[in-house]
């Protein structure tokens, strides 16, 4: 459970009250470009700071700057459209997030020893909205870190506490985005949220409003693509076929399991909540496999060695496949997978019966289907 007062959320969820801050002349703003002035403490002297664009299959680094001896920097350039991009010192992980729009200068400060908790943005309505999100995210990351310290046998062990943290986080983030369909940061946050199936109706409604207010936004395009995939993989639809290699390199087709109930299980070796549910899945597999239930495990590992070691360590007897492209694999893209664990229960004809059944809910459903 989150380890901070409930009243904290009241402040975060209060009406945003952000004044519009748009340049009066779009052509002049585009000519001016963006400017980010920042100060980073605990940064190595002379380190390089990279602007990182992680949207889409390709990671791009459209700009970079060298920090001075006091950690100060200035980034200047142009963006084809307003966007939220990352800042990184190692080209591996976003340390900071920045809302960039031409003609709108931005001030940034952070302590790189604790970047998530200390980033401060000033200069625009977009920066103020993103700052609220960063505060919310820092609180939930602290809650997740505290949960991770729990011993394996603690009452809070297992996937459900993680699911609860994620559900609460996404609901509160949606509350930040909903009042501002004209904001590109709200569109970014909505795209960030699309992982929670419980919010599909709310996200779908907000996507429509965002598309009306900013039809050309990169985030709106992403949300519309996600909507199309989601509609193709909802309950009642025939599941898209998959054909991926197993540990021995030979391909295994999902359609080859027709005639049985199948749980399509997305996971990865590095996903703690995924692996915590494996003992329960093994127990259910022992009970229901002979009655006509199969599991088709799809790993999003980018390392085949780590994947096969995890399969062996967790003693998983059901068919396993993987694609080293991870989140960009056809399996993840065709099923709109943006968070794991994620599961899809199929009937013997390959139609989708249910999404994200785990634990007692999955056991109850199997008892109904295979008494």
Please tell me the predicted confidence (pLDDT) of residue 32. 84
Residue 169 included in any domain: yes
Domain hosting residue 88, numbered range: 31-122
Task: Select from 328, 327, 351 the least CA-distant residue to 339.
Answer: 327
Identify the domain boundary among 182, 212, 233: 233
Same structural domain for residues 142 and 117? no
Question: Which CATH number fits the domain that encloses residue 118?
Answer: 2.60.40.1120
Rounded to 5 degrees, φ, ψ at 248 are -90, 0
27-42 per-position pLDDT tens digit: 444 468 999 999 999 9
Q: Are 159 and 280 in contact (CB under 8 A)?
A: no
Same structural domain for residues 249 and 351? yes
Identify the domain boundary among 177, 208, 233: 233
Please tell me the predicted confidence (pLDDT) of residue 367. 96
Please tell me the predicted confidence (pLDDT) of residue 14. 28
The model's confidence at residue 109, banded by pLDDT at 50, 70 and 90, is very high
234-276 per-position pLDDT tens digit: 899 999 999 999 999 999 999 999 999 999 999 999 999 999 9
Same structural domain for residues 108 and 143? no
Same structural domain for residues 222 and 100? no
Cα 103 → chain centroid: 30
Residue 13 included in any domain: no
Residue 21 included in any domain: no
Rounded to 5 degrees, φ, ψ at 17 are 55, 35
Please tell me the predicted confidence (pLDDT) of residue 152. 62
**Residue 47 above 80 pLDDT?**
yes
Question: Which CATH number fits the domain that encloses residue 257?
Answer: 3.40.30.10
The model's confidence at residue 23, banded by pLDDT at 50, 70 and 90, is very low
Same structural domain for residues 200 and 248? no
Mean pLDDT, range 349-356, rounded to an integer: 95
Residue 127 included in any domain: no
**Residue 4 above 60 pLDDT?**
no
In angstroms, the CA 9 to CA 168 distance is 11
In angstroms, the CA 2 to CA 175 distance is 18
Share of the chain above pLDDT 70, in %: 87
Same structural domain for residues 224 and 298? no
Same structural domain for residues 356 and 258? yes
Same structural domain for residues 210 and 315? no
Same structural domain for residues 229 and 252? no
Residue 17 included in any domain: no
Cα 22 → chain centroid: 29
Residue 358 included in any domain: yes
Identify the domain boundary among 210, 233, 256: 233
**Residue 355 above 50 pLDDT?**
yes
The model's confidence at residue 10, banded by pLDDT at 50, 70 and 90, is very low
Q: How much is the mean pLDDT over the chain?
A: 86
**Residue 180 above 80 pLDDT?**
yes
Same structural domain for residues 254 and 334? yes
Residue 152 included in any domain: yes
Task: Select from 267, 332, 257 the least CA-distant residue to 292.
Answer: 257
Which is more confident, 26 or 131?
Answer: 131
Please tell me the predicted confidence (pLDDT) of residue 5. 28
Torsion sign over Cα 336, 355, 233, 323: positive
Q: Considering the entire predicted model, what is its pTM?
A: 0.70
Please tell me the predicted confidence (pLDDT) of residue 155. 59
Strand partners, 266: 298, 342
Residue 6 included in any domain: no
Same structural domain for residues 191 and 259? no
Please tell me the predicted confidence (pLDDT) of residue 165. 85
- Give me the number of domains the chain comprises: 3
The model's confidence at residue 19, banded by pLDDT at 50, 70 and 90, is very low
Sequential DSSP letters for 264-284: EEEE-TT-HHHHHTHHHHHHH
Same structural domain for residues 68 and 102? yes
């Amino acid at each position: 459970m989150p380890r901070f007062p409930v009243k904290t959320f009241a402040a975060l969820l209060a009406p945003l009250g952000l004044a519009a801050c748009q340049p009066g002349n779009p052509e002049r703003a585009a000519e001016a470009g963006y400017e980010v002035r920042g100060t980073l403490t605990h940064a190595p002297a002379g380190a390089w700071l990279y602007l990182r664009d992680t949207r889409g299959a390709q990671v791009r680094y459209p700009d970079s700057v060298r920090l001075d001896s006091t950690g100060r920097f200035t980034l200047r350039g142009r963006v084809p459209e307003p966007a939220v991009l990352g800042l990184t010192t190692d080209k591996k992980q976003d340390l900071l997030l920045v809302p960039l729009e031409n003609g709108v200068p931005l001030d940034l400060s952070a302590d790189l020893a604790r970047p998530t908790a200390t980033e401060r943005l000033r200069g625009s309505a977009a920066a103020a909205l993103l700052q609220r999100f960063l505060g919310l995210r820092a609180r939930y990351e602290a809650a997740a870190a505290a949960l991770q310290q729990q011993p394996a046998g603690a009452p809070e062990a297992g996937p459900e506490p993680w699911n609860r943290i994620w559900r609460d986080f996404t609901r509160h983030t949606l509350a930040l985005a909903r009042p501002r369909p004209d904001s590109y940061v709200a569109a970014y946050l909505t795209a960030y949220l699309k992982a929670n199936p419980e919010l599909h109706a709310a996200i779908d409604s907000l996507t429509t409003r965002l598309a009306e207010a900013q039809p050309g936004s990169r985030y709106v395009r992403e949300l519309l693509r996600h909507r199309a995939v989601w509609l193709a993989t909802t309950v009642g639809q025939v599941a898209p076929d998959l054909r991926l290699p197993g540990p021995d390199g030979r391909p295994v087709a999902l359609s080859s399991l027709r005639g049985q109930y199948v749980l399509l299980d997305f996971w990865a070796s590095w996903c703690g909540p995924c692996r915590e549910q494996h003992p329960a899945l093994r127990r259910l597999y022992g009970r229901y496999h002979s009655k006509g239930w199969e599991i088709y495990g799809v790993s999003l590992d980018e390392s085949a060695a780590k994947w096969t070691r995890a399969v062996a360590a967790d003693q998983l007897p059901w068919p396993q496949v993987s694609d080293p492209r991870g989140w960009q694999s056809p399996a993840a893209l065709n099923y709109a997978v943006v968070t794991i664990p994620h599961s899809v229960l199929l009937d013997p004809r390959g139609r989708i019966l249910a999404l994200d059944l785990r634990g007692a809910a999955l056991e109850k459903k199997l008892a109904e289907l295979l008494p």
